[in-house]
Amino acid sequence: MKQWVKWLAVGFGAGWSPVMPGTVGTLVGLPLAWGVMRIGGWGLQAAVCAALALLAVPICGVAEKMIGGKDPGCVVADEYLTLPITVIGLASPWALLSGFVLHRLFDISKPPPIRQLQHIHGGFGIVVDDVLAALLALGVNHLLFHLA
């Protein structure tokens, strides 16, 4: 069972990428985000995204203990399971692309208040900064697609 959790945590191997494992791992979330865009109603989309983010917490927590170290770079479930948040309420395929780019931008740069969350330990600590990065990306995505 723990090997399955580890396999999910490393994004089915994407997190083992020698180059930009977080970005490569986030690619695993594109089909999930596309699926969320196809669900009718933003409320149901938000509920599915909340469930995915909550699912990431124990997956990342168990994997962190198995692999060792705080928030190991190969653990990417936090990236790919929070990516769908970036497209809640949007239908354009371009929103998927911009959501991906914005999510990575905010996750990598860690603008305030994301940076202040880095001290939180365990699965929750691994996931919470990605949720916030995804929410910031969602806000910018809505500005892009509703003002354009």
Q: Which of 113, 96, 114, 119 is CA-nearest to residue 29?
A: 96
Q: Which of 73, 75, 91, 87 is CA-nearest to residue 30?
A: 87
Burial class for 124, CB neighbours closer than 10 Å (0-12, 13-18, 19+): middle
The H or E element spanning position 78 is: helix 77-82
pLDDT tens for each residue of 71-89: 899 999 999 999 999 999 9
* Tally: H helices and E strands in the chain: 7, 0
Confidence band for 148, pLDDT divided at 50, 70 and 90: low
Question: Rounded distance, CA 132 to CA 85, Å?
Answer: 10
- Residue 39 DSSP code: S
pLDDT tens for each residue of 8-49: 999 999 999 999 999 999 999 999 999 999 998 999 999 999
Q: What share of the chain is helix, strand, coil (3-state, %, to 5)?
A: 75, 0, 25
